[in-house]
Chains A and B, each alone.
Chain A
Amino acid sequence: MLSEYQLADATATLRGPVFGRRRGLAALNTGTAFGVGLATLWLSLLVFIPLGAVVWQGQKDGLGSFWDAATAPEAAAAIRLTVGSALLVALANAAFGTLIAWVLVRDDFRGKRVVDALIDLPFALPTIVAGLVLLTLYGVNSPVGLELAFTRAGVVVALLFVTLPFVVRTVQPVLLELDVEMEQAAASLGAGKFTTFRRIVLPNLLPAISAGTALAFARAISEFGSTVLISGNLPFKTQVASVYIFAQVETDNTGGAAAVATVLLVIALVVLLGLDLLQRWAARHA
C-alpha cells in the first residue's frame, strides 16, 4: 500500500514543483501552512512559553548553578529512580496494554463491557485517592499480604496503576479499524496465529503501541499525587523526581527545581524521539 506521502510525491512530480500548485493536495498546501501556524501559536502560548520560562528560571543564576542543581546527589538519585521506574512501567504497559486491548476487541465474554469501562478508572480517579487506596492495599496492614508501600516496588505499582489506560486506549481504535481480511488471508496460506500476529497485525499496531507507550512513559516520569503517598519519599531511596522538585520549590529554590525539571524534560524528549525513531524503523522493516 502506498503511503500518503509517496502518493503526494508522485502526484507532485506529475503536476509540478513540490511546493507549487498541486491538485488534490494543492488545496491543502495553504491549509498546511495555516494549520501549522495555528498549531504552533497555540502550543507556544500553552506549552512552549511556560516551559521556556521554567528552563530560563533554571539557568537564571548562571550555568554553574544549573549544573550544580541538576547533579546534586539527591537530584541524581531521584532522577535515576524516576526514569528507571518509568521505563519499566512503559515496557510493562506496552506488553500488557496490547494484550488487554486485544482481549477487549477480539475476544468476547460475559462482562466484557464492564471490564472495558474499568480501564479508564485509574485515570479518572484523583491521584491522591489512587495513592491512598494503593497505600491501604500494600501498606502496613495489607489485606492482600503484600507490603510494598514505602519501597521502590510500591512506586512501580502506583505508576502501573495510573498509566494503565494509555496503551490499551491507543491500540483499541486501531484494532477496531484493522482489516481482518489480511489475517484471514495469512491463515488460509497456512500461517500460524503467532506468525500472523507478528507479521501482519503487529506492524499495523506499532504506531499505536508506540504512541501509548510514549504517553505512559511521560506520565510515569511526572506522576506526583499517587507516588508521593506510597513511596515514603526518602531521599536517595524512594524519592521520585517530582517530589524532589516539589521540595526545591517549597524551600524557595526555584532555580534548582527548574534545573531538575529541565533535565527531566530533556530525558523525556530523548525517549520520545527514540520511540518515534523505533516506530519509523519498524514501519520500514515491516
Chain B
Amino acid sequence: MRLSQSPIVRLVGVVLVAVIAVTACGDDSKPSAVGTADTTAATQAATDPATAAAVELPAAELSLVAYSTPQEAYEKIIEAFKATTQGKNITFTKSFGSSGDQSRAVVAGLEADYVAFSLEPDVTRLVKEGLVAEDWNDDPYGGNVTDSIVVLVVRKGNPKHITGWADLAKPGVEVITANPFTSGGARWNVMAAYGQIIEGGGTEAEGVAYLNALFENVPVQDDNARKSLQTFTSGKGDVLLAYENEAIFAQQNGQDIDYIVPDATILIENPVAITTSTGHLEQAKAFLDYVRGPEAQEIFADNGYRPVIDGVEGPYDFPTPTGLFTIADFGGWSDVSKKFFDPKQSIMADVERAIGVSVG
C-alpha cells in the first residue's frame, strides 16, 4: 500500500488539519502591559482613598493566584473592579487550585502579583522564599480579607440529632473530614475540634484524647476540603466538618444539608498578600484595597464568607459563637504546624498512627 494511502498518514493528516483549524481560530491577543511608569497622580491618590477611586490606573495585567473556594467570589469582584474608574485598564490572569498547591506553584516560579490562600502557612512559605515581604500582614486586618468559622454540617433535618462537638466522638457516628496533612481546611477542622476542648476548660491531654476519639469515627479522608464536602453530599457520613462558607456554597448549589454553628469553634482567617516580584505594585495594591472595600466584601458575604470590615450586611446570618477562638490562642500557625501537623512527629501524626494501629 502506498504511503499516501496508508491509513496512518491519512489519520495524521486529518488530525493535523483539525489542530491547525482549532489553533487558527481563537483569540490569543493579550492587552499589552504597560510598565510601572507610575504617575505622580496615582502615587498621591494612593494615600487618599477618596481620590484614589477616581483615578484611572495605568494599564496592567495582574496575575491572581488563589485557592479554589473563593473562585466565584473573585470572578465577580474582578468584574466589579474592572467596572470602576480605577480598575478600567486592568486585566487579570487567574489561577485557582488547592491552597497548598498554589503556594508551592508560586515558589516554583508561577508568576503572581496577588496571592490569596486559605491559611497563613501558605503565605509564610512564600515569605521564607523571599517572594512576599516579611511585613505583609502589618495592617489592621492582619493580612486577611475574609473570615469564616468551622461548622458541623449535617443532613437536612438533622436526622441524627447532632447538637455539638461531644456527639462527634460518640461511637456509631461517622464524621467526614479531609486529611489534615494534605488539606488546609482539615487543619482548621482539627484546631477547632481540639480548641473547643481547651476553650471549655479542658487540658491539652483531654484535647488530644478528643482528637483520637474523633478520628476513630472518620471512615474517609479526602485529600482536600471540597472533595470531602462532595463525599458527604454523595451520602457518606453523618457529620461533615467544614468551613461555614463551604456549607453555604453547598446549599446555594442545591445540596440538601443543614449546618450547626457550635458554641465553641475557631475563627478561620484567609490571608492575601502582594508578592515582591510584582511589576505592578500600584495596581496590585489598589486591587487589594478594593477587595477590602465595601463592594468586594459584600460580594464575599453573598458567597458565604464573613467580611473583615464592619457595616457589610450579607444575606446570611453570621452568628458569633460565644466560645470563638483564634489560631493566635495556640501560638499562631508557626507553632501549631510544628506541634500538630509535622508528618514525622506531631500530635496528628500520632492520632493517625493510633487509628491505623488499633484497627488495621
Binds A, one of B36-44, B135-143, B219-227, B278-286: B219-227
B360 at the interface (CB under 8 A from A): yes
Query: Interface residues of B: mostly helix, strand, loop or mixed?
Result: loop
A141 at the interface (CB under 8 A from B): yes
Q: In the complex, what residue of chain A is closest to B222 when comparing beta carbons?
A: A233
Quick one: given A247-B181, A250-B100, are A74 and B356 in contact (CB under 8 Å)? yes
Q: Is the CB of B221 within 8 A of A234?
A: yes
Q: Is the CB of B223 within 8 A of A243?
A: yes
Complex interface bits, B328-348 against A, C-beta within 8 A gives 1, otherwise 0: 000000000000011110000
A144 nearest CB across to chain B (Å): 15
Query: Which residues on A sit within 8 Å (CB–CB) of B223?
Result: 228, 233, 243, 246-247, 250
Q: Is the CB of B343 within 8 A of A251?
A: yes
A131 nearest CB across to chain B (Å): 10
A211 at the interface (CB under 8 A from B): no
A150 at the interface (CB under 8 A from B): yes
Expressed in whole angstroms, the Cα–Cα distance for A252 and B353 within the complex equals 20
Q: Is the CB of B343 within 8 A of A150?
A: no
Cross-interface CB contact of B360 among A68, A141, A236, cutoff 8 Å: A236
Q: Is the CB of B353 within 8 A of A73?
A: yes
Residues from 211 to 230 in B contacting A, C-beta threshold 8 Å: 218-223, 227
B125 at the interface (CB under 8 A from A): yes
Residues from 141 to 179 in B contacting A, C-beta threshold 8 Å: 179
A90 at the interface (CB under 8 A from B): no
Expressed in whole angstroms, the Cα–Cα distance for A246 and B220 within the complex equals 16
Q: In the complex, what residue of chain B is closest to A142 when comparing beta carbons?
A: B235
Binds B, one of A34-42, A132-140, A199-207: A132-140
Q: Is the CB of B343 within 8 A of A248?
A: yes
Query: Which residues on B sit within 8 Å (CB–CB) of A74?
Result: 352-353, 356
A229 at the interface (CB under 8 A from B): yes
Q: In the complex, what residue of chain B is closest to A256 when comparing beta carbons?
A: B343
Q: Is the CB of B360 within 8 A of A77?
A: yes
Complex interface bits, A228-254 against B, C-beta within 8 A gives 1, otherwise 0: 110011111100000100111111110
Q: In the complex, what residue of chain B is closest to A253 when comparing beta carbons?
A: B343
Expressed in whole angstroms, the Cα–Cα distance for A74 and B342 within the complex equals 14
B88 at the interface (CB under 8 A from A): no
Counted as pairs of residues, one from A and one from B, with CB atoms less than 8 Å apart, the total is: 83
Query: Which residues on B sit within 8 Å (CB–CB) of A149?
Result: 236
Expressed in whole angstroms, the Cα–Cα distance for A136 and B179 within the complex equals 21
Expressed in whole angstroms, the Cα–Cα distance for A243 and B100 within the complex equals 15
Of A74, A246, A247, most B-chain CB atoms within 10 Å:
A247
B182 at the interface (CB under 8 A from A): yes
Of A139, A234, A243, A248, most B-chain CB atoms within 10 Å:
A234
Q: Is the CB of A139 within 8 A of B235?
A: yes
Q: Is the CB of A246 within 8 A of B227?
A: no
Query: Which residues on B sit within 8 Å (CB–CB) of A234?
Result: 218-221, 355-356
B335 nearest CB across to chain A (Å): 16
Query: Which residues on B sit within 8 Å (CB–CB) of A253?
Result: 343-344
Q: Is the CB of B220 within 8 A of A232?
A: yes
Expressed in whole angstroms, the Cα–Cα distance for A72 and B345 within the complex equals 11
Query: Which residues on A sit within 8 Å (CB–CB) of B222?
Result: 228-229, 232-233
Q: Is the CB of A73 within 8 A of B356?
A: yes
Q: Is the CB of B235 within 8 A of A141?
A: yes
Of B104, B182, B235, B341, most A-chain CB atoms within 10 Å:
B182
Query: Which residues on A sit within 8 Å (CB–CB) of B356?
Result: 73-74, 77, 234-237
Quick one: given A150-B219, A233-B221, are A252 and B125 in contact (CB under 8 Å)? yes
Cross-interface CB contact of A136 among B100, B181, B234, cutoff 8 Å: B234
Expressed in whole angstroms, the Cα–Cα distance for A222 and B12 within the complex equals 30
Quick one: given A74-B352, A77-B360, are A250 and B181 in contact (CB under 8 Å)? yes
Query: Which residues on A sit within 8 Å (CB–CB) of B352?
Result: 74, 235-236
A148 nearest CB across to chain B (Å): 13
B357 at the interface (CB under 8 A from A): yes
Query: Which residues on B sit within 8 Å (CB–CB) of A251?
Result: 181-182, 341-343
Quick one: given A77-B360, A140-B236, A236-B360, are A250 and B182 in contact (CB under 8 Å)? yes
Expressed in whole angstroms, the Cα–Cα distance for A74 and B181 within the complex equals 13
Query: Which residues on A sit within 8 Å (CB–CB) of B344?
Result: 68, 72, 253, 256
Expressed in whole angstroms, the Cα–Cα distance for A248 and B218 within the complex equals 21
Residues from 146 to 196 in A contacting B, C-beta threshold 8 Å: 149-150
Query: Which residues on A sit within 8 Å (CB–CB) of B342?
Result: 251
Expressed in whole angstroms, the Cα–Cα distance for A184 and B220 within the complex equals 56
Q: Is the CB of B227 within 8 A of A229?
A: yes
Query: Which residues on B sit within 8 Å (CB–CB) of A252?
Result: 125
Chain B positions near chain A (C-beta within 8 angstroms) = 100-101, 104, 125, 179, 181-183, 218-223, 227, 234-236, 341-344, 352-353, 355-357, 359-360
12 chain-A/chain-B pairs, Cβ below 8 angstroms: A77-B360, A139-B236, A140-B236, A228-B223, A232-B219, A232-B220, A233-B179, A233-B223, A234-B356, A250-B101, A251-B182, A251-B341
Which 9 residue pairs are nearest across A and B when measured between Cβ atoms?
Answer: A236-B356, A140-B235, A232-B220, A236-B360, A250-B182, A247-B181, A251-B343, A233-B221, A247-B182
- Contacts beyond the supplied A247-B182, A256-B343: 19 A-B pairs with Cβ under 8 Å: A74-B356, A139-B234, A140-B234, A140-B236, A141-B234, A150-B219, A232-B219, A232-B221, A233-B220, A233-B221, A234-B356, A235-B352, A235-B353, A236-B352, A236-B357, A237-B359, A246-B182, A250-B181, A250-B183
